[in-house]
């Protein structure tokens, strides 16, 4: 039995949060880790590598990328001491941008939309020739930050 003239107001809402996935060579990165060993570049003689394409996929239009660190130093992890100072760049459509400055990138709806023009590469190179560093293994971890832009 209902009462005449009774009513109930229902406020209904939903919130969709920004979601972004980082893809490398059209595959989502797992475990938030990425191995990026630097070989000696035969042309330059430096420790150097340029990645293949990264893409951002999600439910927003754009995001900013930047590395959390301002200095990129590989530390010697075996006997002795030593460091390798690195320079890093984002490469977008053949243009280079420092990895220490925010770079705005498109976020794709799906990875099938990926092209070289809407992705980015990362390049790291040693400041000195590889032969200038003492023999050993050098390593460090750096963090790529991806921030949604509304």
Three state DSSP letters for the chain: CCCCCCCCCCCCCCCCCCCEEEEECCEECCCCCCCCCCCECCCCCEEEEECCCEEEEECCCEEEEEECCCCEEEEECCCCCCEEEEEEEEEECCEEEECCCCEEEECECCHHHCCHHHCEEEEEEEEEEHHHCCCCCEECCCCEEEEEEC
- pLDDT, position 13: 85
- pLDDT, position 2: 60
Q: What is the pTM of this model?
A: 0.86
Residues in the chain predicted with pLDDT less than 70, given as ranges, are: 1-4
CATH assignment of 20-149, among 3.30.750, 2.40.50, 2.60.40, 1.10.357: 2.60.40
- What residues does each domain of the chain span? 20-149
């Amino acid at each position: 039995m209902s009462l005449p003239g009774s009513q109930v107001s229902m406020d209904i809402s939903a919130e969709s949060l920004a979601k972004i996935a980082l893809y490398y060579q059209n595959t989502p990165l797992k475990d938030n880790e990425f191995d990026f060993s630097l070989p000696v570049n035969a042309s330059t003689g430096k420790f150097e590598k340029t990645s293949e394409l990264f893409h951002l996929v999600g439910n927003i239009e754009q995001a900013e990328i930047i590395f959390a660190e301002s200095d990129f130093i590989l530390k010697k992890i075996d006997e002795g001491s030593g460091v390798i100072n690195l320079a890093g760049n984002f490469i977008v459509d053949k243009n280079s941008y420092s990895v220490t400055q925010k770079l705005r990138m498109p976020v794709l709806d799906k990875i099938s939309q990926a092209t070289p023009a809407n992705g980015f590469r990362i390049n790291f190179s040693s400041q000195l020739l590889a032969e200038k560093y003492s023999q050993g293994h050098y390593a460090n971890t750096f963090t790529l930050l991806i921030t949604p832009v509304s």
